[in-house]
Amino acid sequence: MAAPAAPAPTGSATARAVRNVVFVDGVRTPFGKAGKKGIYAETRADDLVVKVIRELLRRHPELPPERIDEVAIAATTQIGDQGLTIGRTAALLAGLPKSVPGYAIDRMCAGAMTAVTNVASSIGFGAYDIAIAGGVEHMGRHPMGEGVDPNPRFLADQLVDTSALVMGQTAENLHDRFPHLTKERTDAFAAASQARYDAAVKAGKIGPEFVTVATRSAEQGWGLASADEPPRPGTTVETLAGLKTPFRPHGRITAGNAAGLNDGATGCIVADEDTARELGLPIGMRMVGFAFAGVEPEVMGVGPVPATEKALARTGLSIEDIGLFEVNEAFAIQVLAFLDHFGIADDDPRVNQWGGAIAVGHPLASSGVRLMTQLSRQFAERPDVRYGITTMCIGIGMGGTVIWENPNWDGSDK
């Protein structure tokens, strides 16, 4: 906990100490493939969020709904069933008291991450005690960029290169910038992500965080989404080598070494630590600090590097202090650029030990809380690890990093 604030001048508002903020618990829907054949093709985005909120309350009856101070839900494309201030409307649809406010937020891929850091800041300041934060993306109904009208000055004034607005092209640009990070290395990382995810499912590591979703198909009737749809178990480097490179002739980015287009929702409970203990809520992890940073939009995938450096500097930690990493795998090249910068091996077991977005999918604004939920559950198994990181690149040239402390740490050196 930070040191208490200096005494307030006479006649001013009462000074406050910064409070400890904790991640209580997180859940998510299984992730689906975007498109007409995906499991959520005929399911509304806001209904996915409603399922997540209701599941958080079902799992934690010790939390009185009226004690929730805020509901912050992110979506990148805020139109249709992802519009209308989805944090507020989903809260109402989920049956929360009408006294509970809510709002929508957009920071593209880091939407849910930003929802968490926003409510955490308010909790730390003392404006809230408990909040729900999360994100949703139905990329089948709302493809990335739907309805947007980029200002022509971006290109006319040469503020960005044309590639900056196409995420796959920015990943190709990263290969240009770091030629030693070859396609062979990215394919190897992608195949390993699929294998790690498959092993985690078989070991029961993936699944306890799911909220099952009833789905409807006009052709097939009702169904139940209870497992992730995107993973491709058995993927090999050899099969990845022959895939097409849609963003550049003879390029290096393929459907196999990048996250797909996906649908899904995530949510979590964030609270003041004292309030969590008062109510008997579990403490999954404690927030240490966070940072967002901007980079050249043409190489947005490098964003986690300066964001992590900034977060480490502000918390007084070093990369050697971090025992677990959850790095969003928008593209394998983006993860390798991060690892290479910090001198971490491509196959370091501390990194994405249960696989990542290349296997499970990346429904844009929802992914940040998936990373946090997995890290929290890993902390519970690893009392030898004190600190962990969740980090991701963000479209239009940004990165975001949150550093967490393991409440189960046993005092060992790691």
Catalytic residues, by residue number, are 109, 362, 393
Q: What is the 3-state secondary structure (H, E, C) of 382-399?
A: CCCCCEEEEEEEECCCEE
DSSP helix/strand/coil, 221: strand
Distance CA 65, CA 42 (A): 30
- Residue pair 410/386 in contact (Cβ under 8 Å)? The answer is no
- Taking the CA atoms of the chain, what radius of gyration do you get in angstroms? 21
Distance CA 139, CA 339 (A): 29
- Residue pair 265/29 in contact (Cβ under 8 Å)? The answer is yes
CA distances from 100 to 65, 69, 72 (A): 8, 6, 11
Sequence-ordered strand ranges (E) for 245-397: 262-272, 285-294, 322-327, 387-394
What is the phi/psi pair of residue 195, to 5°?
-70, -40
Distance CA 89, CA 82 (A): 10
